[in-house]
Amino acid sequence: MVLEQVLEQSGLRKDYEYHSQVNLTQTDGKRLQPDVVIHMPENKDVVVDAKVTLVAYEQYQNAEDDAQRSSALADHLASVKAHIKAISEKYILEGTTADGAIMFLPSEAVYAELHSNFPELIREGFEARVWIVSPTTCMATLNTMRAILKDARMREQAGAIRTALRQLHRDVELVVDRVDKLNTHFNQARKDIE
């Protein structure tokens, strides 16, 4: 699968930063299984769905006449539109996932055709909070997500370092206090000896 190859090349770590075939539960209790869930900070998982079919697009490309081409194109656009709606309704779950999802198209040609000839469909995806990506744009999106994850880990580590430094500072203050008390005892012992 093309999406798996893109994920492997992205540098995201499987089973830590993303999972394949994860179960999500909708508020009505219905269980769903998106293709990929990318774990982002603050429990805002991003769903990636790659189930869009390109059969109608292939029929459009292989059509022998204008009628077949027109019919196949209409079927393809209807399929993409239905898939945008399904992703928006199924995979954008308040409090469970991020407020947007990704629709992965395994073909640069299909992606380019949608963007250049059907911008209203792309806008419809944006309005439904479904971002359509190709292998190339998916890689760029995943690299951005990886940078966000790295930044979040660095902030967590910086917080842990600050906590450790505060504790170290407190321990140093205790040592200084004990050294002062020990110095007082030594001074008293010296006076007693004198």
For the stretch 128-161, pLDDT in tens is: 999 999 998 888 888 888 787 777 777 777 878 8
Asked if residue 102 has pLDDT above 60, the reply is: yes
| 3-state DSSP assignment of residue 35 | coil
CB atoms within 10 A of CB 186: 10
pLDDT at 16: 59
- The average pLDDT across 35-59 equals 84
Minimal CA–CA distance to 129: which of 165, 95, 93, 164?
93
Kind and range of the H or E run holding 24: strand 24-25
d(CA 31, CA 127): 25
Please state which of the ranges 20-29, 67-76, 151-160 shows the lowest mean pLDDT. 20-29
Q: What angle do the packed helices 119-127 and 108-117 form, to 10 degrees?
A: 100
Tell me which long-range contacts 20-27 makes (C-beta under 8 A, separation of at least 24). Answer: 24/91, 24/93, 24/96, 24/97, 25/96, 26/90, 26/93, 27/93, 27/94
CB atoms within 10 A of CB 47: 25
Task: Give 29's DSSP letter.
Answer: S
- 15: confidence class by pLDDT, cuts 50, 70, 90: low
Give the type of residue at 62. Answer: N
Indicate the average pLDDT of the chain: 85
